[in-house]
Structure 1
Amino acid sequence: MSVTAEVLAKFWLAQQRDTRCGAPLSNSPLFVRAMFANTTKTARMMVVCRCSVGDQIFSVTPSTNYEFDYLGQSTKGDLNLNFDHLDAFGMDGPATLQGPIEEVAMKEAEEAKDLLNDLGISSPSSARNSSRGIFCSRTLNLRSISAIGYDMDYTLIHYNVKAWEGRAYDYCLGNLRSMGFPVDGLAFDPDLVIRGLVIDKEKGNLVKADRFGYVKRAMHGTRMLSTQDVSEMYGRELVDLRKENRWVFLNTLFSVSEAVAYMQMVVRYDEGAISAEICPPDYRGLYKAVGKALFRAHVEGQLKSEIMSKPELFVEPDPELPLALLDQKEAGKKLLLITNSDYHYTDKMMKHSFNRFLPNDMGWRDLFDIVSMPYLSALLHGK
């Protein structure tokens, strides 16, 4: 007899005792009875079980207090049998639920725990508290993947956003000043813009759209618009990123400095401080001027020269990242580095971020089978 059947049978016998004592069977918290259904081929026995959580026969593991079992599965929402009710029926709760299946499960749980300890791996219950945890919405079988390509900036090399984008902003404002724009009194505000927002070049706004493309929040210049203003301005209009002449998606951290400068220039434009001689008299022309100033900051070399001279001020190294790539290479994968930075800058930054964490005098170049510079990167990014 299985453990479950044994428990149900004991409950049934206990219920029979309750019935003989005059207790109404239909009001009992758990009711088990045998029913026979005759068919033309066979007779089947059906066991009907009715349980009530309200009567506290079972309790449900709440979402605020759950654990992970030995398979790494969450116990949230699990039904737990209340041993006190088993005791009320004259049964030893823990002893009743022990059986071959439970013994195997407990043994496997102990073996899994010992294996994790031997490998130096934290238990599954600590995964949700990991500072390096990753949310995965799908899985990918890497056995069929023979080559893996990486970008460098903000992928293999993570910059200090405030430091890097702050200096890019400073150089951008310097170029705007040389073009005649009024930039006195402006300062970089990294909290003004985040990646994932969209610039509306037609209205001089920064908008946040939902997954359907409807604008939910908006800011004109540096001023947040009210819900009523947003509704009157956009209504049921959709943000269509395919219309690049109007919408600009801030999809990289490099967009932060540009967006901050643009939104601040919108304020100066609305104040009438920017004349038509400086740029075309609309928000599109203003965006083009800011983009040109930032582009000059990137290509003229002063910004990158400053970063290369003091990379420790701008780069946040990750000691585990080079080792992760080394694991992939030793697993037989071909690794590619694809970047639109020049080789001099790439070599300097990769040496700073990778070489000291690699074993046996390896260099970053030893990790990659192919290193691709501006032309292929521009092609892949559609530029």
Structure 2
Amino acid sequence: MTHLHDPASPPADGLRGDPPPRHLRVHTHRNLRLASIAAIGFDMDHTLALYDPHVFEQLCFEMAVALLVEAKGYPENLREVAYDRTAVTRGLIVDRRLGNLVKVDAYGYVARVRHGGRLLSKVERREAYKRGRIRLSPNRYRVVDTLFDLPEGSLYSALVALKDGQPGLLRPSYKTLFDDIRDAIDTIHRDGSLKRRIMADLPRYFVRDPLLAPTLRRFREAGKKLFLLTNSEPDYTGAVMDYILGGEGADWDEFFDLVVCTARKPGFFLPKGKGERVPADTVPHLPNRRGHCFTGGDAFYLESKLGAIGDAILYFGDHTYGDILRSKKSVGWRTAMIVPEVEEEILAAEPLRGTLADLEEIEDSLEDLGLERDHLLSLPDHDPLVVQELQDRIQASLGRRAQLQKRIAAAYNPWWGSIFREGRAASRFGAQIRDVACVYTSRVSNLSRYPVQKFFSSTGERMPHE
């Protein structure tokens, strides 16, 4: 459940009126009329450029371990620690004081806690988080927000287990362990060592999407202005974009009216001034023959160059805060979030349709049984035997529900279940997508399965009483 799947059908399917496969659809929270969009922007990493998660995350993990050993004096046998991608998902909270990974629901209530290599029991969870909720504070907690954060969370979980299992081996506190890992991950991104490894073997680290170039062409042919807005530096941007869009009959930058590198999002969405033009043909693989590539600047300067502002701009990104929330709140852009986990979970759920239906039936039955029991208990002359019979049925249903929930969770992630839900409620991550993204989908090229002036209509939300 970690690889992106090849597109299952050509773009023409959606144009004939047939709905795209469920895992390749665009999902709508707020109505979006593409006909009213003048300009469409894209982040690069994890949005246009899709990393192979197995290979990329393994590289980040190994480079961070090497830095801990060589630069921070951690024991040599850390190199034997294996990367476990199931240990962490987006939306989790890292508790640096207690050494825990925590999943909360949309309201901040603690639902699952992993310490090292094991899940805490309900009693242990309540002991650790007595109020049942987590109120985020930067001194104690860090949120696993991005796909770049996954190797960091997995390494932290592994080192917590190692520290607990061999107390004399790792002496730093849980907080120091995390801070050292965070510094190592930051270093390999900041000093260019990670990007040099990737640029040396681009086919190893990226998955090319054959429908990406046709998708961008359709937008341009429909009169949309396109722009690339990335935090990556010009040399890395040029190399990656040349690989994923090269050989498409034109220099890759001809797909875009503007290219902004080293954008420093989310600060880019606050007033900072003009960007700095990248001189034409000065960066390998960054053709820029039209002189339309910039570094830095801000969203307001970008809007002036595009001739479009606010909700006439649609922006695609994968980062809840850095891409989606800031572009929406600060400058009023419409937002499309790229969430590869959607594709993974829908495909994983296909064999579970019967199980999911059974679970829904049990949930409804439990509600009815509970109401019936409570009504009987309210009667002064209730029969204790009848009440006990109802209680036994409730307990049996609870046991069956737990079995089904365990089976369903294992299909998604053996530790955390669905990234989007916790029980019958949305997870924190699921709620964030609901609150900040106008639409979301697993990859940009899914838009090729819809008419280019499509009106994406929300199904709407109902209050419980409606």
Name the aligned partner's letter for residue 320 of structure 1: L
Structure 1 pair 273–149 and aligned structure 2 pair: CA distance change class (3 A): farther
* Residue of structure 2 in register with 1:249 after alignment: 143
- Choose which of 231, 244, 253 in structure 2 pairs with 1:365: 253
* Residue of structure 2 in register with 1:289 after alignment: 180
**Following superposition of structure 1 onto structure 2, how do residues 204-283 of structure 1 map, counting pairs within 5 Å?**
204-241=99-136, 243-270=137-164, 271-273=166-168, 281-283=172-174
Cα offsets for 1:254-303 (capped at 9, x unmatched):
11111111111222333324565xxxx43222211111111122223232
User: In 1, are the aligned partners of 2:104 and 2:112 still within 8 Å (CA)?
Assistant: yes
Q: Which one has a bigger Cα radius of gyration?
A: 1
* Residue of structure 2 in register with 1:327 after alignment: 218
Structure 1 pair 174–337 and aligned structure 2 pair: CA distance change class (3 A): same
Aligned-pair CA distance for 1:151? 0.8
* Residue of structure 1 in register with 2:227 after alignment: 336
* Residue of structure 2 in register with 1:156 after alignment: 48
Structure 1 pair 187–304 and aligned structure 2 pair: CA distance change class (3 A): same
Give, in whole Å, the separation in 2 of the partners of 1:268 and 1:189: 14
Name the aligned partner's letter for residue 268 of structure 1: L
Cα offsets for 1:82-138 (capped at 9, x unmatched):
xxxxxxxxxxxxxxxxxxxxxxxxxxxxxxxxxxxxx765876x6374542233333
Give, in whole Å, the separation in 1 of the partners of 2:82 and 2:176: 22
Name the aligned partner's letter for residue 314 of structure 1: Y
User: In 2, are the aligned partners of 1:340 and 1:378 still within 8 Å (CA)?
Assistant: no
Determine if the alignment matches structure 1 residue 127 to structure 2 residue 19: yes
Give, in whole Å, the separation in 1 of the partners of 2:266 and 2:28: 29
Aligned-pair CA distance for 1:160? 0.7
Give, in whole Å, the separation in 2 of the partners of 1:326 and 1:139: 24
* Residue of structure 1 in register with 2:64 after alignment: 172
Aligned-pair CA distance for 1:236? 2.8
Determine if the alignment matches structure 1 residue 355 to structure 2 residue 243: no
Give, in whole Å, the separation in 2 of the partners of 1:301 and 1:376: 16
Name the aligned partner's letter for residue 206 of structure 1: L
Give, in whole Å, the separation in 2 of the partners of 1:123 and 1:373: 38
* Residue of structure 2 in register with 1:306 after alignment: 197
Structure 1 pair 142–301 and aligned structure 2 pair: CA distance change class (3 A): same
Cα offsets for 1:35-81 (capped at 9, x unmatched):
xxxxxxxxxxxxxxxxxxxxxxxxxxxxxxxxxxxxxxxxxxxxxxx
Give, in whole Å, the separation in 1 of the partners of 2:243 and 2:203: 8
Structure 1 pair 295–120 and aligned structure 2 pair: CA distance change class (3 A): closer
Structure having the higher helix fraction is 2
Structure 1 pair 122–372 and aligned structure 2 pair: CA distance change class (3 A): closer
Cα offsets for 1:326-356 (capped at 9, x unmatched):
2222222222211111111111111111123
User: In 2, are the aligned partners of 1:158 and 1:317 still within 8 Å (CA)?
Assistant: yes
> Unpaired segments of 5 or more residues in structure 1?
1-118
Name the aligned partner's letter for residue 329 of structure 1: R
Pick 1 or 2: higher relative contact order, CA cutoff 8 A, min separation 6.
Answer: 2
> Unpaired segments of 5 or more residues in structure 2?
1-11, 269-321, 327-466
Give, in whole Å, the separation in 2 of the partners of 1:273 and 1:141: 60
Aligned-pair CA distance for 1:155? 0.4
* Identity value in percent: 33
Q: How much is the aligned-residue C-alpha RMSD, in angstroms?
A: 2.2
* Residue of structure 2 in register with 1:140 after alignment: 32
Name the aligned partner's letter for residue 165 of structure 1: E
**Following superposition of structure 1 onto structure 2, how do residues 59-208 of structure 1 map, counting pairs within 5 Å?**
121=14, 127=19, 129-178=21-70, 179-182=72-75, 183-208=78-103
Give, in whole Å, the separation in 1 of the partners of 2:40 and 2:134: 33
Structure 1 pair 340–264 and aligned structure 2 pair: CA distance change class (3 A): same
